[in-house]
Amino acid sequence: MPRQFFVGGNFKMNGNIKTITEIVQKLSEAKLDSNTEVVIAPPSLYLLLAREHLRKGIEVAAQNVFDRPNGAFTGELSVEQLKESGITWAILGHSERRVILQEDNSFVANKTKAAIDGGLGVILCCGESLEQRESNKTIDVVTTQLKAVADKVKDWSKIVVAYEPIWAIGTGKVATTEQAQEVHAAIREWLKKEVSSEAAEKTRILYGGSVTEKNSGELAKQPDIDGFLVGGASLKPAFFDIINSNQA
């Protein structure tokens, strides 16, 4: 069975009631590739708004989730709270949280385990800095991030990996098609060796980092690129073209 193409839209800390309602309405009305799984991640304040107005078949993700079921954890959301609200995915390990909020590999792994155990799907982000790329440490950095999760999670059937080179996020720079495919292939090889052949074959690996409607078609043709995690472009009409890029 071929892996189903997957496109996630990470709104980050952008949007308001008006703009997100408009995006959700347009998404619901758009002619999208029926063979592509689509998930959007608005700010937490608008998760219910998005879920209530979005058509069936498009899912909603939280941009974060905590690793405890409840308690005195100000500002956090639990897996159960998300599930009760119809939110089926969570984005974890995004470089902005790793870098700005200092979330380490172990914490990301704990949150991933909590989400998976609780029945959420996880878009698990990994990626290297420009300094690490230039020091030829890309594969070491990425697989170390993934290994922390593999040490705690054995079932990868609800995990979608998103490779996002930090130097390409929001910079306008994008990894070349060859660079992206090389890392995706290395991740798949690592999954085969460290998790299982089944995980390597079935786990979808997304590319993220200044994805646009102009480069998505070529990237989508690569054998180990199974979709995209889109940032800024997910707030624009170009998002529809990116969703449909696997049809080309």
Q: Which of 128, 164, 184, 213 is catalytic?
A: 164
Q: How far apart are CA 179 and CA 11, in angstroms?
A: 25
Q: How far apart are CA 181 and CA 222, in angstroms?
A: 6
Q: What angle do CA 216, 221, 226 make, to 5 degrees?
A: 80
In SS3 terms, 72-95 reads as: CCCCCCCHHHHHHCCCCEEEECCH
In degrees and rounded to multiples of 5, residue 42 shows phi and psi of -80, 170
The answer to whether the beta carbons of residues 218 and 177 sit under 8 Å apart is: yes
The answer to whether the beta carbons of residues 76 and 44 sit under 8 Å apart is: no
Query: Catalytic: 164?
Result: yes
Query: Catalytic: 80?
Result: no
Residues 6+ apart with CB under 8 A from 87: 47, 51, 60, 61, 62, 120
Q: Which of 94, 96, 128, 213 is catalytic?
A: 94
Instruction: DSSP for 16-35, please give it.
Output: -HHHHHHHHHHHHHS---TT
Gap between the terminal Cα atoms of the chain: 20
**84 conformational bin, left if phi > 0, alpha if psi -120 to 50, beta if neither:** alpha
Active site residues: 94, 164
